[in-house]
Amino acid sequence: MTIRKDYIRPVDFRNGRVDMTHGSGGRAMAQLIEELFVAAFDNEWLAAQNDHARFALPPGRVVMATDSHVVSPLFFPGGDIGCLSVHGTINDVAMAGAKPLYLSAGFILEEGFPLSDLRRIVESMACAAREAGVAIVTGDTKVVERGKGDGVFINTTGVGVVPEGVDISGDRAQPGDRILVSGMLGDHGVAIMAGREKLEFASGIVSDTAALHRLVARMVAQVPDIHVLRDPTRGGLATTLNEIARQSGVGMLIEEKKLPVRSQVTAVCEFLGLDPLYVANEGKLVCICAQEHAQRLLEAMRADPLGRDAAIIGAVHEDAQHFVQMRTGFGGRRIVDWLTGEQLPRIC
């Protein structure tokens, strides 16, 4: 499709808003794609203007992951839905020990959404992808009527390649294994909550949103036989450990004293009656490996800026009930259970 730019008024990114024509397949949509998405993501596949992207993959097994992003507020301390949608899917691919290569991006826009905000989000995605060395090679845009969306929803799908000999999977945790986390827990969830509830005392806490594939590459280079990797996003560390315990058919015991949590995050959770163990992260990973590899992995993680505060937090053991338990800093022992529904603030 050729657009004679001389006869088209450029998209008004300053004052314009998304309307139904931007999703109708007509000229307005083509113009938005060209002036916004193709310009920002800037790669040969999008420039080819096909409905697909065609590429060759290096040798190895292909890893694919998808993630839809519906965060509110769209802009939060430390990030926005744009970079989050890139990091989230890159991390899902990376948790197989894979190198992420290509992304797709699907947008559902709500009629009336300011184009200035959309441009901010798309530029943030472009920046995140560039930094990660991953190309956004194909995409889609739909518009829903006002009131039927929440500004913008973004789905991203990622493809990567994992070398032979690396077999990282949630069902490989074994009794005796050690459990590591890559850094401070709960920053993202608290930053979002602070933004949503306008909690001024929580200022200064920013989302940890980040692409973890380089940290993973460093870890795999040191210890190819990592058993499990997973990013503790929704539901936090507690949910992730419960998922792995069930998948692997094991129990776990973690030490509260060894959990890295910022004091500000603890304070906000305390105030709202929440538990940092259940609060979302977007730039952290949980790693489970054989005991003899734990120290080497910890050192590799700490050598990476995204793993500076990494810690060994516990161990895997046999347990027919698949309980995740925690030795409390207080000296007692308790279950770290699945979350019941959403975590809600307590009144007492």
Partner 1 sequence: MKYIDEFRDGGLARVLASRIAREADSARSYHLMEFCGGHTHAISRYGIADLLPDNIRLIHGPGCPVCVLPIGRIDNAIELAMGCGVILAVYGDCMRVPASGGLSLIKAKARGAQVRMVVSSAEALTIARENPQCEVVFFAIGFETTTPPTAVAILAAKREGLANFSVFCNHVLTPSAIANILESPEVRAHGTVPLDGFIGPAHVSTVIGSRPYEHFAEEYEKPVVIAGFEPLDVMQAIRMLVRQLNEGRAEVENEFSRAVTREGNRKAQVLVAEVFELRKSFEWRGLGEVPYSALRIKSQYAGFDAEHRFGIETRPVADNKACECGAILRGVKRPRDCKAFGTVCTPDTPIGSCMVSSEGACAAHYTYGRWRDAVAG
Q: What is the DSSP string of 199-253?
A: -GGGTT--------HHHHHHHHHH-TT--EEE---TTHHHHHHHHHHHHHT-EEE
Which residue lies nearer to partner 1 by CB, 48 or 335? 335
Which residue lies nearer to partner 1 by CB, 138 or 343? 343
Q: Quick one: which H or E segment has residue 325?
A: strand 324-327
The residue from 9, 10, 56, 321 that contacts partner 1 (CB under 8 A) is 321
CB of 197 to partner 1, least distance (A): 7
Bridge partners for 141 per DSSP: 107
Give the binding range for partner 1 (CB under 8 A) out of 21-29, 61-69, 290-298, 333-341.
333-341
Q: Which residues contact 188 (CB under 8 A, 6 or more apart)?
A: 78, 207, 208, 209, 233, 279, 280, 281, 282, 283
Task: Map the footprint of partner 1 across residues 246-265, applying CB under 8 A.
Answer: 257, 263
Q: What are phi and psi of 322, to 5 degrees?
A: 60, 40
The residue from 10, 58, 59, 331 that contacts partner 1 (CB under 8 A) is 331
Using DSSP's 3-state secondary structure scheme, residue 50 falls into: coil
Task: Map the footprint of partner 1 across residues 191-250, applying CB under 8 A.
Answer: 197
Does residue 45 bind partner 1 (CB under 8 A)?
Answer: no
Does residue 50 bind partner 1 (CB under 8 A)?
Answer: no
Which residue lies nearer to partner 1 by CB, 248 or 325? 325
Which residue lies nearer to partner 1 by CB, 124 or 239? 239
Q: What are phi and psi of 135, to 5 degrees?
A: -100, 140
Query: For residues 121 and 137, what is the distance between their CA atoms, to the nearest angstrom?
Result: 17
The residue from 13, 45, 75, 323 that contacts partner 1 (CB under 8 A) is 323
CB of 344 to partner 1, least distance (A): 4
Per DSSP bridges, beta strands 251-255 and 324-327 are: parallel
Write the interaction track for partner 1 spanning residues 271-290; mark x where CB under 8 A is met and - where it is not. Answer: -x------------------
Q: Contact residues for partner 1 (CB under 8 A)?
A: 197, 257, 263, 266-267, 270, 272, 321, 323, 325, 328-335, 337, 340-341, 344-348
